Structure 1
């Protein structure tokens, strides 16, 4: 067995306004508390500022949802309008996200997101492969220092060999010059010395020749010895260079196939940075795309809704005409009042339900617009088969209205309440009651004396 327990407000909504608890969409937007204030306006809430609202800061779309229900139009379409407007606000909020520094940087630098993501993705993929193939050697730094030391030694030995090869070349040239010295040169030298230094010439030519030959021989021996020494140095260095080069090659092979941990960390950091930038750009790209797509969908949805509301207004022509004529009837009954009810669509297609008047300059016209509107609502309740049959007007409604209009309003209210079977309650000071209507309503006046002495002196729980 299924037991349905209703709250007091849910019960009143069902009984008075035919609210169906199974209508989830409607019940999420309309409650007894949102409907009843139209039949018992409060001046403190701004209920007498405009006919279409009972609350000063009442939102437009909530107002249209309530009024379409009270008048008997398609409330679900007005709810769809509200949801559509909420989606528009969501898109507007998303656009605000695009004003962040990250997006401004993209826009200001003229970055094409699709192109930039493609380029960065390629870099990231290559870097990832490099990381996957990266082998960390525990002694990478030591090997790097050793390889650098070998390179320095090889360079120094090569420089020394270069210098020594120059010396070898000079020694070889000197040796060749020694071999070219002839006896004729010695003989001519001897004669020249004998003429110029006769006293210093002691030895014979033969002795001089022997001395010269010894001198040349010693010179050749010295040059040959030096040449051998430098050639050996160059050769030994060459062997050492070869050995060092082999060792360096081994070290370099390790360095080429392995890496240091800090190098790996740098590569990892670079890859992470690329991935982060790619994610940022992709998020921006998705956000921009989703906004564009959502805006396009909203435009389509908005156009469809405009067509639906237009068709719905045509389908509810009879209901719409009934409400308009009820306002017209109340307006004609009032002194100098030409209040009119407008039921249609705004430029952007939403429901447009409001009271208008051609006598904007007349005294208390706003109050009479509210009066006509409320009289229409209470009669539409019966027309739509609802049990809401109470309309309450506070004296604040009649404060700016002249005496003749007050009299006509009270007369029309009494007549219609009796005719349509609803209760019209007016709170009015006795000295504000026009004499022209006093006799007509004297039997309807509740003989209530207000006093703050005890509970019996209050009105509906309110003390005065």
Structure 2
């Protein structure tokens, strides 16, 4: 049980708790104005401080300037400690450390550096899990802090929005697993729903990634990858066939250079032949045009002029004509010789070009049938690259198939888990009946049996469902009282089995919008249950909500703890207004 909440600031108004029902009440003073509110007197702050002292993360409440230097203290029962009590000290300034008195971790007295009772927050949380909840082996599915979120529901964390979750961000599967621990059900099965949900979420994200232009080349779809593999397989087959038929010619480079020289000589001969044929044609044309010289035209010319040529002149003409004939004969002989030379050169060129053509053909056949060693190396490198690409595509295809098959696998595992969970529920019928009867008893005490209240565990495909039923449970007030009955149920079940502490704390938010008859009955029920079970129920309340119960005959005086808070300057929990 929780015994006392205090601080080393003299203004702080220490709260002393006792077994059974504890009402931390906030009054509205007669001098209060409409602007003043009891929302700032410290009701919720008391719950926040208890959380902080039980291992919660630091909050603005303890780190703000007015409280940062203050060391807060919680005195609580701790059966394994000497005297059965433990004092827990923690401040906002040094929030990473917790001082416990006595030293429950049993530090070595001969250690060089004495830690005394100062421990880390992690060590303190582990101690709480062992002592309060019987969690001996750390497991990511069970959390002492999450469990304490149920035992001390906080308005700040929206803790009253859902009965099955201590705060909005908590995973449903994780919350259910921890509730199963309190109820004595197999919490590990409930946790497996969360693992499957995480896998399914990852699968969905990866599936969406296959349509993303950035990620599709990493993830891929099996159909696309199969098509790419077909193309790569064909390229590999072609390369392997080429390499198998490939012959390496040792003198490859020399043969290639000779082939180039032969080709160059063939071009030179062809170009020379063009010139020679043109020259031969000119010579043959010149030979055809050359003829014997004559002087008859001169005689006709002179006759027309009336001049008679003498024998002497005629003898001179004959000498000239003979000279010209000798010149023409010499020129024709020269042209015939030149033509013969050209014809012989063309014939020789044709013969050489024929021989060079045959040599060129032989060289090209050698090059086509074989190749250089570096060419073979390049081909082998290309083959290795294509084979590596094929292996990469195969791995991606395997991953894509696994991704596409994972949906069916997850569905199969969900179905198997659903059956396993249902068998476990059937095997633990006694625990389920105990919880259901308690919830039914508590809800009927508040509303009678007309609403047919019940609690049941139901295995479903995607989660383990803890169903809480109160007919016509759509109003805020009834929803809050369902949370009250549910919390009281698991708290009793866990306390009886030693799986949870003997205290339960609710903030005043729980009673907002609740009918006055249900407020009175809830407090009466809390008195009965805590007395029967040897437990403690701490609730913060505004005095006007408490007045609802008092008007129906509930005597609150024996359960109101000191101090009574109010909205005056020094009437709040901290003894001053922030």
Asked if the contact 2:455–2:467 (Cα under 8 Å) also holds between the matched residues in 1, the reply is yes
Structure-1 separation of matches of 2:444 and 2:271? 120
* 2:458 aligned partner: 344
Change (3 A) 1:438 1:361: same
Structure-2 separation of matches of 1:283 and 1:114? 11
Structure-1 separation of matches of 2:467 and 2:250? 78
Selected match of 1:372 from 479, 485, 490? 485
Question: How far did 1:156 drift?
Answer: 4.4
* 1:20 aligned partner: 136
Structure-1 separation of matches of 2:130 and 2:186? 18
* 2:420 aligned partner: 308
Asked if the contact 2:436–2:455 (Cα under 8 Å) also holds between the matched residues in 1, the reply is yes
| TM-score after normalising by structure 2 | 0.60
| Higher mean C-alpha deviation, range 421-430 or range 35-44 | 421-430
Say whether 1:289 aligns with 2:401. yes
Q: Considering only aligned residues, what root-mean-square deviation do their CA atoms show, in Å? A: 5.4
| Higher mean C-alpha deviation, range 401-410 or range 380-389 | 380-389
Asked if the contact 1:124–1:274 (Cα under 8 Å) also holds between the matched residues in 2, the reply is no
* 2:237 aligned partner: 122
* 1:353 aligned partner: 466
Structure-2 separation of matches of 1:110 and 1:12? 54
The number of aligned residues is 435
Say whether 1:230 aligns with 2:346. no
* 2:564 aligned partner: 449
1:280-328 deviation digits (Å, cap 9, x = unpaired)? 5334312212213433432332222111111111111111111111111
Selected match of 1:154 from 266, 274, 278? 266
Asked if the contact 2:151–2:505 (Cα under 8 Å) also holds between the matched residues in 1, the reply is yes
1:309-361 deviation digits (Å, cap 9, x = unpaired)? 11111111111111111111011111468343242123x25201142321235
Task: Say which SS state the counterpart of residue 140 (structure 2) adopts.
Answer: helix
Change (3 A) 1:426 1:100: closer
| Higher mean C-alpha deviation, range 153-162 or range 112-121 | 153-162
Q: What is the correspondence of 1:40-55 to structure 2 with a 5 Å cutoff?
A: 40-55=152-167
Change (3 A) 1:127 1:390: farther
Structure-2 separation of matches of 1:124 and 1:249? 27
Structure-2 separation of matches of 1:455 and 1:33? 33
Structure-2 separation of matches of 1:361 and 1:286? 50
Say whether 1:30 aligns with 2:146. no
* 2:318 aligned partner: none
Q: What is the correspondence of 1:62-211 to structure 2 with a 5 Å cutoff?
A: 62-101=174-213, 112-123=227-238, 125=240, 147-148=259-260, 150-158=262-270, 161=273
Change (3 A) 1:150 1:32: same
Selected match of 1:7 from 115, 120, 123? 123
Higher-helix-fraction structure: 1
* 1:429 aligned partner: 542
Change (3 A) 1:351 1:398: same
| Higher mean C-alpha deviation, range 323-332 or range 444-453 | 444-453
| TM-score after normalising by structure 1 | 0.72
Structure-2 separation of matches of 1:344 and 1:393? 28
Question: How far did 1:422 drift?
Answer: 1.0
Asked if the contact 1:65–1:78 (Cα under 8 Å) also holds between the matched residues in 2, the reply is yes
Structure-2 separation of matches of 1:442 and 1:312? 46
Structure 1 unaligned spans of 5+: 176-198, 203-213
* 1:322 aligned partner: 434
Question: How far did 1:258 drift?
Answer: 3.7
Asked if the contact 1:323–1:380 (Cα under 8 Å) also holds between the matched residues in 2, the reply is yes
Change (3 A) 1:440 1:75: same
Structure-2 separation of matches of 1:131 and 1:431? 100
Asked if the contact 2:181–2:187 (Cα under 8 Å) also holds between the matched residues in 1, the reply is yes
Structure-1 separation of matches of 2:543 and 2:331? 153
1:168-190 deviation digits (Å, cap 9, x = unpaired)? 99x99xx9xxxxxxxxxxxxxxx
Structure 2 unaligned spans of 5+: 1-104, 108-121, 288-302, 304-313, 315-325
* 2:526 aligned partner: 413
Q: State the structure with bigger RCO (CA 8 A, min sep 6), 1 or 2.
A: 2
* 2:504 aligned partner: 391
Structure-2 separation of matches of 1:383 and 1:462? 41
* 2:114 aligned partner: none
1:377-401 deviation digits (Å, cap 9, x = unpaired)? 1111134333511011221111211
1:152-177 deviation digits (Å, cap 9, x = unpaired)? 431342465589789999x99xx9xx
* 2:110 aligned partner: none
1:117-174 deviation digits (Å, cap 9, x = unpaired)? 322333455677899969899x89x976x854642431342465589789999x99xx
Change (3 A) 1:112 1:69: same
Task: Say which SS state the counterpart of residue 84 (structure 1) adopts.
Answer: helix
Structure-1 separation of matches of 2:569 and 2:196? 53
Structure-2 separation of matches of 1:95 and 1:289? 11
Structure-2 separation of matches of 1:104 and 1:85? 24
